[in-house]
Structure formats: structure tokens, C-alpha cells
Amino acid sequence: EAQVTQNPRYLITVTGKKLTVTCSQNMNHEYMSWYRQDPGLGLRQIYYSMNVEVTDKGDVPEGYKVSRKEKRNFPLILESPSPNQTSLYFCASSLCSGTERAGDSYNEQFFGPGTRLTVL
């Protein structure tokens, strides 16, 4: 079954304790991305990756790191979590076909089930 998986689904931790949220997709998608969802703010993009070893900052990258060593995995790392990083996190992937020059297509993103993180 084609899917995006995230682990853990729920995590309660304390300030400063490094953590990693894993994300894996089995659809051979080039593009992967992380978002956080907060009430009244919608989803905000943290980091994204167009392909292996290619990552870029989204709108709210502070306090987060990512890596893309393999196509299927895109872990989100919080080196020193703080309470303001308490949020619902979503990983997403999509197929990137073409470039602006080719005039084609930016495909819809498939989202993981979400990880609810609480930092005390």
C-alpha cells in the first residue's frame, strides 16, 4: 500500500532533549517536506527536499534540522526542543515531474498521519 509513515505518532519530551521524528515513503517520490500545524496558523512548512541530498528551508526552519540521505526517508531532528515546538507535525511526499521550463506539473502531496509532539 502506497503510504507515508511517521514515527512516533505521539511524543512527550522535556526541554533540551534531542529527538528525531522519522518519515518514510514507499512511492519513490522525489519531493518530501515537513510541516507543523498550530491552531489559527494552518500548516507551515519547516523544510523540504527536492531529492536526495537537496534540502531547503521553508517558512519556519528555526530549531529544526533535516537530512535526506536516501530517497525514501526524511527525518526531522530537534536538537534542543523547546516548549514553542509543541505542535502537530506532518510529513508529506510527492512526485516531481518536470521543471518550470518543461511547464509541468507539481503534483499533490501525500501526507503522513501526523506526530503530536509535546515539549514540557
Partner 1 sequence: AQKVTQAQTEISVVEKEDVTLDCVYETRDTTYYLFWYKQPPSGELVFLIRRNSFDEQNEISGRYSWNFQKSTSSFNFTITASQVVDSAVYFCALTNAGGTSYGKLTFGQGTILTVHP
How many other CB atoms are there within 10 angstroms of residue 7's CB atom?
Answer: 14
- Could you tell me the smallest distance in angstroms from the CB atom of residue 76 to partner 1? 16
Interface with partner 1, residue 40, by CB under 8 A: yes
Interface with partner 1, residue 11, by CB under 8 A: no
How many other CB atoms are there within 10 angstroms of residue 90's CB atom?
Answer: 22
Interface with partner 1, residue 56, by CB under 8 A: yes
Site mask, partner 1, residues 58-77, x = CB under 8 A?
xx------------------
Interface with partner 1, residue 115, by CB under 8 A: no
Give the CA diameter of the chain. 48
- Could you tell me the smallest distance in angstroms from the CB atom of residue 106 to partner 1? 5
Residue among 63 and 114 whose Cβ is closer to partner 1: 114
First and final CA of the chain: distance in angstroms?
36
Residue among 19 and 50 whose Cβ is closer to partner 1: 50
116: which 3 cell numbers? Answer: 503530536
User: What is the binding site for partner 1 (CB under 8 A)?
Assistant: 31, 33, 35, 40-45, 48, 50, 56, 58-59, 88, 90, 92, 99-101, 103, 105-111, 113-114
